[in-house]
Chain A
């Protein structure tokens, strides 16, 4: 009997040890300033206001220097265990996907259903954006590179890593060589900061955003009071109490709230949770929001909710219906 218990304990321990967090996807995206200053931009008029937006397709089709920098960064990051999503390939895939969705038909003539939200969601996305900007400057007969690489968390909009500076001027080296040198020079510093971000994530939980909104079909608003956990509280305070209990070290920040919405930032969710089978499974904002939804389904709330996922790091719970 003792042997069996020991074996079960060993198996559970190994499963817990093997549990792996959800790996963020990373993609290099040229900065707006790079695209616009190099002429890779398009003009739009929205609500009577003219807007200039980067034209990534034009950029990847014509800028050899940027392609070189992206390739170099991608090979280094792949070596560090993070193969990058390729912007050029992602843009091609999206075009192809749109064409296939439009053309696809079932044997009975049925078409793929796609809501406006589904179409909006069909964009090149990554959990961490490597925002890259560089320019090759001249100083007399010498060339040098100004380099700026920012790692941005796509959900919290926080800069989680960065490396910037100027390379040493050279009269003989070609601009492409100087650019390659800049990438090699700054990437270790950048990865060091990225490592600090990951270390913090494993220690203090993944930082996500959570929003609660309500459909007009919801039977109550967020200022309504409920008897929950032996206390009478407003709905928003009930959600606060749940977050305090379920966030790592109870860390979260309600940044805004009204009778129709609650906005939470710096919500530190655990990287893993124990599933019903006893296994440690990785969690993200959606799974965390699902747990809150299951609380809201039960008395005294008895309400259905839609969980809307925005990548690994943001989820909305829309109260009232699915």
Chain B
């Protein structure tokens, strides 16, 4: 009887540990703050060039997620420096801009939506090797993107989402 309880207990511990990691994984996959970025250099005037990663169960969905992440990083978090490029601040500087303008960004980031207008160039055709990693529960895919940063900033300013540098003057 004692043995039976021990086995039951150990099974429960293993199951709950597994459940926790699955939960964490799900949170990681679904997080809107999970932008992994490596800057590739200084882009052409008005553009930013960097490598961005996306997670999903399927490779093609992970690529879509990576493109969304690229645009979202420019809007909400900014881009770190590297490879000769200086850091770039976020276009929306107010905290919780995502929540304040939730309706706008829900439409903006709909798959196939307006965000794609600013993704000018990607290497999403054949992600392979280190750029397509099989991780537990799905794929982590890295793509190189060129974001039309100035166009994105101008449109967000025109839509009243971001503050213009000369606002108030």
List residues of chain A with CB under 8 Å of any chain B CB. 20-24, 79-82, 163, 165-168, 181, 184-186, 188-189, 191-192, 194-195, 198-199, 202, 271
Q: Is B86 an interface residue (CB 8 A)?
A: yes
Known: A188-B86, A189-B86, A195-B93. A167 touches B42 (CB 8 A): yes
* Contact partner, A198, options B78, B85, B149, B165, Cβ 8 Å: B165
* Contact partner, B168, options A21, A186, A192, Cβ 8 Å: A21
How many contacts A-B (CB < 8 Å)? 65
Q: Is B163 an interface residue (CB 8 A)?
A: yes
Question: Which chain B residue shows the least CB distance to A168?
Answer: B84
Say whether A189 contacts B88, CB under 8 Å: yes
* Contact partner, B84, options A20, A21, A181, A195, Cβ 8 Å: A181
Question: Which chain B residue shows the least CB distance to A76?
Answer: B45
Bound Cα distance A168, B150 (Å): 22
Q: Which residues of A contact B4 (CB under 8 A)?
A: none
Known: A184-B45, A195-B163. A189 touches B169 (CB 8 A): no
List residues of chain B with CB under 8 Å of any chain A CB. 41-43, 45, 78, 81, 83-89, 93, 149-150, 163-169
Q: Which residues of A contact B168 (CB under 8 A)?
A: 20-21, 198, 202, 271
Say whether A189 contacts B87, CB under 8 Å: yes
Bound Cα distance A184, B86 (Å): 9
Say whether A192 contacts B89, CB under 8 Å: yes
Task: Enumerate 5 A-B pairs (CB-CB under 8 Å) in ascending A order.
Answer: A81-B165, A81-B166, A189-B88, A198-B165, A198-B169
Question: Which chain A residue shows the least CB distance to B44?
Answer: A184
Shortest Cβ gap from A133 to chain B (Å): 16
Q: Which residues of A contact B167 (CB under 8 A)?
A: 198
Shortest Cβ gap from A205 to chain B (Å): 13
Say whether A185 contacts B86, CB under 8 Å: yes
Q: Which residues of B contact A80 (CB under 8 A)?
A: 164-166
Bound Cα distance A281, B164 (Å): 21
* Contact partner, B86, options A163, A198, A202, Cβ 8 Å: A163
* Contact partner, A194, options B81, B85, B163, B165, Cβ 8 Å: B165
Bound Cα distance A192, B81 (Å): 14
Bound Cα distance A168, B149 (Å): 21
Known: A81-B164, A184-B42, A195-B93. A21 touches B85 (CB 8 A): no
